[in-house]
Amino acid sequence: MGKPMNNNEEGQAKLKDLVVLTVLSDLDQAREYETLLKLNDIPAMTKEQLDPNGEDKGVAVLVPEDCLDEAHVVIESQDAYDDFYDYAMEDEDDMDFDPDYLDDEF
């Protein structure tokens, strides 16, 4: 029978099970993704990464491998929502709104 794992060994085992969901150059965006995933009951963490040349830093968003597909769906859904919201706000800015238009003359 194997020996029980201590907390440090459990942490290392969990890290080994994590895979990269995405790598972003923006730490704030990576943290937003991490929060969004956690709100959807998907364990996630961020970790700073160096490119192969060791120069530019990026931030990897990591999730358990068995949650990878679901995490992609959550992120893509949020990005689609953000794109829609940006588009709607763009259209609103383009409109010449006349506040007198809504005044009733009764």
Q: Structural domain boundaries of the chain?
A: 14-94
| Span 26-84, pLDDT tens digits | 899 999 999 999 999 999 999 987 767 777 778 999 999 999 999 999 998 887 666 55
What residues pair up with 97 in beta bridges, in sequence order? none
Res. 9 pLDDT band, cuts 50 70 90: very low
Helix (H) or strand (E) holding 64: strand 57-64
pLDDT in the model for residue 2: 41
pLDDT value of position 52: 72
Q: Where would I find the H helices in the chain?
A: 7-16, 27-39, 68-94
Half-sphere exposure of 53 (CA within 13 A, CB side): 3
Q: Domain spanning 14-94: which superfamily?
A: Hypothetical protein rpa1041 (3.30.70.1530)
Question: Is the distance from CB of 38 to CB of 74 less than 8 angstroms?
Answer: no
What's the length of the chain? 106
Q: What is the pLDDT of residue 33?
A: 93
Structure-block tokens of residue 85? 């919201």
pTM: 0.60
